[in-house]
């Protein structure tokens, strides 16, 4: 028995242009800073923030430059229809990152203090996580 398939209309064909994936972009852009926050918050993993030269202290100043550099590169390299979404995405999510950095910094500094007894001001931890140029390192 031969079956005849109906012809595929243009509405059923997949779009050649890739769609903007919100959660994939969030994960790729903010994954590194979130991992750094999680390493500081989880008591078994925050040994990388010890007061005796834990390696995470060298990586957290790179969080903000990573976000900004990724935003610039993604916007410049994107095609025109996606660029509009990317600009709006970064305009909305970068301030959200700055706002969420304070409670996450509080959780991180509290966890580090409870684990090692190392007292770190919450504002200082937050400034390192959100500033592309940590000017207070040199003061």
pLDDT by residue for the chain (139 residues), tens only, comes to 566 665 555 555 554 445 568 889 999 999 999 999 999 999 988 888 887 778 888 899 899 999 999 999 999 999 888 899 999 999 999 999 999 999 999 999 999 999 888 898 999 899 999 986 655 555 5
pLDDT of residue 10: 52
The whole-angstrom distance between residue 67's C-alpha and the CA centroid of its chain comes to: 6
Residue 75 CB contacts under 8 Å (≥ 6 apart), including other chains: 83, 86, 87, 90
Q: Other C-beta atoms within 10 Å of 68: how many? A: 13
d(CA 110, CA 13): 53
Instruction: Kindly give the residue spans of alpha helices, DSSP state H, lying in the chain.
Output: 22-41, 56-59, 63-77, 80-116, 122-130
Residue 136 structure tokens: 């207070």
pLDDT of residue 22: 85
pLDDT of residue 34: 96
Q: At 87, phi and psi to the nearest 5?
A: -60, -45
pLDDT of residue 44: 85
């Amino acid at each position: 028995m031969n079956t005849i398939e109906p012809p595929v209309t243009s509405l059923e064909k997949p779009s050649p242009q890739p769609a903007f994936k919100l959660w994939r972009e969030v994960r790729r852009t903010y994954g590194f800073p979130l991992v750094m926050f999680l390493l500081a918050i989880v008591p078994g993993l925050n040994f990388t923030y010890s007061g005796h030269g834990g390696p995470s202290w060298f990586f957290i100043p790179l969080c903000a430059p990573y976000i900004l550099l990724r935003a610039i590169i993604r916007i410049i390299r994107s095609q025109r229809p996606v660029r509009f979404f990317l600009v709006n995405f970064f305009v909305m999510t970068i301030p959200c990152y700055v706002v969420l950095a304070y409670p996450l910094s509080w959780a991180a500094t509290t966890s580090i203090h409870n684990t090692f007894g190392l007292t770190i001001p919450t504002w200082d931890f937050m400034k390192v996580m959100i500033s592309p140029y940590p000017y207070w390192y040199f003061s």
